[in-house]
Amino acid sequence: MKKIKIGIIGLGTVGTGVVKTISNFWDSIEITKIAVRDINKPRNIEGLDKSLLTDKAEEIVDNPDIDIVVEVMGGVNPALDLIKKAINNGKHIVTANKEILAKHGEELFLLAKEKNRVILYEAAIAGGIPIIMPVKTILRANKINKIAAILNGTTNYILTKMDKDGASYDEVLKEAQELGYAEADPTGDVEGFDAAYKIVTLATIAFNKRIKINGIYREGITKITDKDIKLAKELGYKIKLIASAKIDEAGRADVRVHPMLVPEGHVLANINNVTNAIMLTGKPVGEIMFTGPGAGEFPTASSVAGDILALSAEEAENVEIGETENRYYISLNTTDNPGSIGVIGTICGNHKINLTDILQKGTNPDSTAEVVVITGLSKEKNVKEALKEMKKSSAIVKINNLIRLMN
Q: How many CB atoms lie within 10 A of CB 209?
A: 13
Count the helix, strand and coil residues of the chain and give each as a percent rounded to the nearest 5: 40, 30, 35
Residue 170's alpha-carbon distances to 9, 18, 158, 159, in angstroms, are 34, 33, 9, 11
- Assess whether 198 carries a catalytic annotation: yes
Q: Which of 103, 198, 238, 240 is catalytic?
A: 198
Q: How does strand 53-54 pair with strand 29-35? A: parallel
**Euclidean distance between CA atoms 190 and 178, whole angstroms:** 16
**Euclidean distance between CA atoms 393 and 378, whole angstroms:** 21
Radius of gyration for the chain, computed over Cα atoms and rounded to the nearest angstrom: 32
**Euclidean distance between CA atoms 63 and 91, whole angstroms:** 10
At 309, give phi and psi (nearest 5°).
-65, -35
> 219: closest CA among 246, 234, 248, 199?
199
Residue 113's alpha-carbon distances to 201, 203, 255, in angstroms, are 18, 21, 27
Q: How does strand 286-293 pair with strand 325-335? A: unpaired
Query: Cβ contacts of residue 296 below 8 Å, gap of 6+?
Result: 13, 17, 127, 128, 153, 274
> 101: closest CA among 20, 28, 240, 210?
210
**Euclidean distance between CA atoms 354 and 377, whole angstroms:** 8
Q: Find out whether 289 and 278 touch, Cβ atoms under 8 Å.
A: yes
Active site residues: 198
